Amino acid sequence: MAEKSIPNPSQIRPVPTPAPQADSSHVRNPGMALELDWVHEVKVNRSAVERRAATLGPRRSVKKDWQAAWLLRAIRLMDLTTLQGDDTPGRVRRLCAKARRPLEQRIVDALGVAHLDIRVGAVCVYHEMVPTAVECLAGSGIPVAAVSAGFPAGLSPLRERIREVEASVAAGAEEIDIVITRAHLFTGDWQAMYDEVKAFRAACGRAHLKAILATGDLRVLRNVARASMVCMMAGADFIKTSTGKESVNATLPVSLVMVRMIREYLERTGVEIGFKPAGGISQAKQALVYLSMMKDELGRRWLEPDLFRFGASSLLTDIERQLEHHTTGHYSAAYRHPMA
């Protein structure tokens, strides 16, 4: 198939506004009653999804200035993340400093984008590190996202998980990433999944809720589609692919299914739901494919931080390298662009 160029780059070039906080003008998902008939009627044609996913990269060509514009956009859509067992306050402080200034000044000057004030969409940390991140990001407009509710397994008692969500919000987190109980899906207990996510949504208050499906554990695409729909019905503001801890994390077929569930929910309810692919997205060229998928499937509106995020830790390093190559014609070593 012949290459097809992305339309006018002015449509995707970053705009000179800060990343929106959790209380942006975007209308949050109020949720709805659980419609089991709607859930049960969901079907997925796996071969068709895989064929479509296979075309997403080859049929798009983004080069030169257009590519630089898309990569700058990707930075603004990034949840800069550290979720390691050996995280320290010092590491989180370095991560927050990188979130405020994700590109080296020489790259910013060479691109002529200082006026855009490029920053990441959020910083994502464990609950324990929320106070440190909130302190470091004060006044920046960059929200702190906390992984709560027994992340990554989500198997601690429900009351304890709800209390952790409440504690993260009280500590200053403006976004909460929770992981669903996969057992509810495998036993077909959609009511239990709905009630659980709804309880987390209530515990979040004004903070936005991202529901992690842990798609690598869900085995078939129909499970991904149904879990997506139940979480949206329960009030999730975002649906997210993975914890980053599964053996298989974000993939294009899984992401395509989730995005089309978002589109179906929008058509039926008029409510816009965000999407966050996470885990395994470490190369700039992967980010470009995801951006083109969002624009194709949901439209330009889903290229804003209040509706799309990358969950990433090493992606920023490769984007910096690509932007330096764009300005100098040479690739630099990755260690020259430390993440934190």
Q: Please give the structure tokens belonging to residue 300.
A: 């330009």
Tokens of 147: 């992984």
Q: Point out the catalytic residue in the list 240, 295, 306, 318.
A: 240
> Is 276 among the residues known to form the active site?
yes
Which residue out of 98, 198, 276, 295 is catalytically annotated?
A: 276
- 79, 177, 237, 306: which one is catalytic? 177
Residues whose CB falls within 8 Å of the CB of residue 93, separated by 6 or more in sequence, listed in order: 132, 136
The residues, any chain, with a CB within 8 Å of residue 217's CB and separated by 6 or more, are 182, 246
> How far apart are the C-alpha atoms of 334 and 322, rounded to whole Å?
10
d(CA 319, CA 278): 16
Q: Mark whether 79 is an active-site residue.
A: no
Strands 60-61 and 78-81: unpaired
**Exposure string (b/e) for 28-67, b if CB count within 10 Å is 16 or more?**
bbebeebeeebbeebebeeeebeebbeebbeebebeeebb
Parallel, antiparallel, or unpaired for β 78-81 and 208-212?
A: unpaired
Q: Is 71 helix (H, G, I), strand (E, B) or coil?
A: helix
Tokens of 246: 């599964």
Query: What SS3 state is found at 222?
Result: helix
Are the CB atoms for 127 and 163 separated by under 8 Å? Answer: no
CB proximity list for 223: less than 8 A, separation 6 or greater: 185
177 tagged catalytic: yes
Hey, what are 96's tokens?
């927050």
**Beta pairing partners, 239:** 211, 275
Could you report how far apart the first and last alpha carbons of the chain are, in Å?
Answer: 41
Which residue type occupies 255? S
Could you give the CA distance from residue 205 to residue 162 in angstroms, rounded to a whole number? 12
Amino acid, single-letter form, for residue 100: R
Query: Catalytic site residues?
Result: 177, 240, 276
